Structure 1
């Protein structure tokens, strides 16, 4: 396969990236205009039914940034929130707040304003959908229960961007549990079960499906119609068709570290090109563990156990890499290869190189660069143990190749003189298992689409960054170790990236920096980011998802949201022993479920508006547990637990914020603690 055979695919990919960026610009410009028209008023907390008999009446009275608390009870209504009501919070103040459409009303909630939060509400028996989100950003749907709608449980329409769907339970919807026509949505920690079609259906690009339980849906667990999406660490079990179904269009998605079991079709069905299926437990599916009918995919490090067939490559499957998988107990066959033009390497059960196009360094070529020059799309370059003093540049015409270290001592050494180990301008690349040290500017520099960097060790970049992304898109960084970069461990000037399970230590700047106000749409999860000289993570954009990381012993903030678009999510992180835990200098962020402790200059510092700080555990910090400056207004502080902070658990220089049910001992003013 020559590069010319990929041009049409890459043209489609580039059009999707342009549309992604266009949606970002459009929605931020449109909604900034709306927000300029809003009058900043004194914040209010309204109680339903104490202050108003219905939720709709409370919404009609409320201003942007207000909070509506719902008492236990049954509410028979359909609520629309217009664009003028941004940053409204509607929160259940009990465990039995029920919105019931009685099979007659169309939609429980229709959200047409930015940064709305719906929290803890049971939504039942609506005709169209439980919740519909249309044309806005920054919406937070948290801990809602949605049962028995005749349409979709949750529906996000076209033009919707960067929303958080967290800890909801959606079941028995007539159609999909959640239907995404939106971009950059974080669907995290939910349960989707017993829905009439798919648990999750994705019609667009750049979404993040993380740690959900997806089971017993009548069709597929996850159906993805487009591409460039992340499906990570989900339980996808006992669905009526495929576990993960990639049937049409673009590809370029990541299915990573999922448990995919007992589905009535295939575990993973891949009909699109350029996907990564890696580190999944795929077992006891009725048909194949993985079925591939497309090109340039990587199937690696999976456990394929007790399926009808382990892995099947159909006739249309070509130039795929099958690497280091475990096959065990599959009923008919472990591996079925119809088209010989695939690379099969180092899989358990002795599936050795079957008709593979593999170039070995130094056996076939003395240098990695010479091997790259000889490679064609779909080829694999195996690099044996040794010391390689070179700069490897991979141009666009070499898209679709894979560079894999064939040993644990494959070393690229710049000797303090060479600038960059790998410069990646191609698309669909895999760089795996290399030791990269002593380069001047960058360990790995990325400009392409759909590039994966896996299990590399990068050390001592003397004047730059460990990894740098510049105008890249859909980049995976997984299980890398980056130590002693002079500037940032990872510097991101790109959109829609996945930074997962890396160690980022002792950088001279930040552990991770999102530079510029359009570097949006990334998931940063399960990383250990420690002992960096400036911040653990510094985000100049917003719309990024910071989830379940360890941020400790950094020289300034654990997490710093710099002035930018805002509406980021900082969720379930362990933030400790930095100078300051979390600083919010942008608006509309969700900071929830974190443990923030042992900082010398404060746990959380808020300098802006419309942030939601909820259910955090904040302890043993000097310089206050939470501090709101005089410029901090219209923020919601809800159900946080603060103790042993000095001089105050909470201090607010501006009272125009909502303080609800926070457990703490000493505050200024005194009434903001419960």
Structure 2
């Protein structure tokens, strides 16, 4: 069944109450001053607006602790082509699984723009914008979720903040956020083809071990381009014009960081191209050039540094450790 708002039902909430599993709700252009809760028995419904900036869900004067869309108790919900703004908590709060958000603008909310709750998995966020929210643009507390081709900018905390495990961030842009562009505060998250620029702290901040970063760009951030914990894999990334290091490898627990830094381009950073804190890292086939301090700064021991290319760094290699192999 197809339900049109406001032709068939006067509000989005009325349309959802009337919908059966699998129904589609089309929302006309206009300003809808309501909070939308999706409870039980609504699996597989679609909610489709008339376009970003045309169908606007607005939270002005609705009270405190109110979310724009709250997917509370159903799965496989699809929401498309809508602007969600000015709610007192989250613009979108996902508490269930396998939902899809596509072509949504989430802005000016008093907490995070989008929050995927702890325990929610396999949700897809595709080609969405989360801008000018009072906390994170996108907050992921659950595991096994997918953030793809989305933009987070001018948020007052991080652009994308991933607290769960085994999540994927693919081909996103995070720019001009107050703190980190991308933050991973758990293990086994993967970042591929993302761009992080002009953020107030790190471009990419991985505060736990076993994170994977492939072919990302980190440009003109106020701290490090990439800051990663132990047992990380960085392959094919580009880090340039950051205020501190292009890449900093550290360990929050022990000296054996055992990270692999392969085929990255580290250029024109204000401190080191690569700073290695910890032991037994492998640094292979990177291009390191025109960094203001050393190209590679080795703080600890038993690292293997080989087949890298250096050009016009203040010092190409600053070896402060012991038993490091430099080829």
Instruction: Please report the TM-score for the alignment, with normalisation by the length of structure 2.
Output: 0.91
* 2:151 equivalent in structure 1: 191
Q: 1:213 & 1:244 partners in 2: Cα distance?
A: 12
Q: Deviation string for 1:98-146 (max 9, x for gaps)?
A: 0000154410000021000010110010011000001x21100000001
Instruction: List aligned pairs for 1:10-89, cutoff 5 A.
Output: 44-89=1-46
Q: 2:324 aligns with which of 353, 356, 362?
A: 356
Conserved? CA contact 2:230–2:249, under 8 Å = no
Q: 2:218 aligns with which of 260, 278, 290?
A: 260
* 2:286 equivalent in structure 1: 325
Gaps of 5+ in 2: 252-256
Q: 2:132 & 2:50 partners in 1: Cα distance?
A: 25
Conserved? CA contact 2:122–2:144, under 8 Å = yes
Q: 2:123 aligns with which of 143, 160, 163?
A: 163
Higher helix share: 1
Conserved? CA contact 1:103–1:125, under 8 Å = no
Aligned-pair RMSD on alpha carbons?
1.7
Q: 1:78 & 1:165 partners in 2: Cα distance?
A: 20
Conserved? CA contact 1:141–1:164, under 8 Å = yes
* 1:311 equivalent in structure 2: 274
Instruction: List aligned pairs for 1:132-171, cutoff 5 A.
Output: 132-134=93-95, 136-171=96-131
RCO comparison, higher one (Cα < 8 Å, 6+): 2
Conserved? CA contact 2:262–2:283, under 8 Å = yes
Conserved? CA contact 2:2–2:23, under 8 Å = yes
Report the secondary structure of 2:10's partner residue.
coil
Instruction: List aligned pairs for 1:180-259, cutoff 5 A.
Output: 180-248=140-208, 251-259=209-217
Conserved? CA contact 2:114–2:139, under 8 Å = yes
Q: Which has the larger radius of gyration?
A: 1
Residues 94/346 of structure 1: CA separation in 2 closer, same or farther (3 Å cut): closer
Conserved? CA contact 1:71–1:94, under 8 Å = no
Q: 1:337 & 1:93 partners in 2: Cα distance?
A: 55
Report the secondary structure of 1:152's partner residue.
coil
* 1:276 equivalent in structure 2: 233
Conserved? CA contact 1:278–1:300, under 8 Å = yes
Conserved? CA contact 2:175–2:198, under 8 Å = yes
* 1:175 equivalent in structure 2: 135
Tell me the CA shift for residue 342 of structure 1: 1.1
Q: What is the aligned residue count?
A: 310
Q: 1:302 aligns with which of 244, 252, 264?
A: 264
Tell me the CA shift for residue 341 of structure 1: 2.1
Tell me the CA shift for residue 54 of structure 1: 0.4
Instruction: Please report the TM-score for the alignment, with normalisation by the length of structure 1.
Output: 0.45
Q: Deviation string for 1:30-87 (max 9, x for gaps)?
A: xxxxxxxxxxxxxx00000000110000000000000000000000001110131010
Q: 2:50 & 2:275 partners in 1: Cα distance?
A: 52
Find runs of 4+ consecutive structure 1 residues off by over 6 angstroms.
Answer: none
Gaps of 5+ in 1: 1-43, 359-381, 383-674
Q: 2:307 & 2:127 partners in 1: Cα distance?
A: 39
Report the secondary structure of 2:16's partner residue.
helix
Conserved? CA contact 1:83–1:114, under 8 Å = no
Q: 1:235 & 1:226 partners in 2: Cα distance?
A: 20
Tell me the CA shift for residue 357 of structure 1: 5.6
Tell me the CA shift for residue 277 of structure 1: 1.0
